[in-house]
Amino acid sequence: MELDKLFTLLRSRYGKILKEKQNGFYSIILYNSCKEPKYIICVKTRRDLIFGKICKFDSISSLSCYDLLYEPSGLYIFSKTIEEFLEKLDKKMRLLR
């Protein structure tokens, strides 16, 4: 599954994003309207599944996706489509506020 569509949709929804490929994962930082990092998401695809974890940027101790998988303050997202992933992402963001 191609994640370029996800990056484009995240940019259109949240403005500035920063992405980095990390050993099969993508680390994506979402910025707020003041241009400060607000959330970090680690995303990976496997066959027809997109999965990831979102954490508040100010609550993490590392930018490594492997470390974020064990971060106790984050929430996991599992979906079959990019649209479903974004819908669940919005819900998780509301829970983390």
**1: CB partners within 8 A, 6+ apart:** 45, 47, 48, 49, 50, 82
Compute, in degrees rounded to 10, the torsion defined by CA atoms 42, 96, 89, 65.
0
Share of the chain above pLDDT 90, in %: 75
Share of the chain above pLDDT 70, in %: 99
pLDDT digit string (tens) for 45-80? Answer: 998 899 999 999 999 999 999 999 898 989 999 999
68 with 42: CB under 8 angstroms?
yes
Collapsed DSSP state (helix, strand, coil) of residue 86: helix
Angle of helix 4-14 relative to helix 82-96, nearest 10 degrees, comes to 40
pLDDT digit string (tens) for 9-29? Answer: 999 988 889 999 998 999 999
What is the average pLDDT score of the chain? 92
The pLDDT-based confidence of 1 (bands split at 50, 70, 90) is: low
This prediction's pTM: 0.90
The label of the residue with tokens 């999965």 reads 51
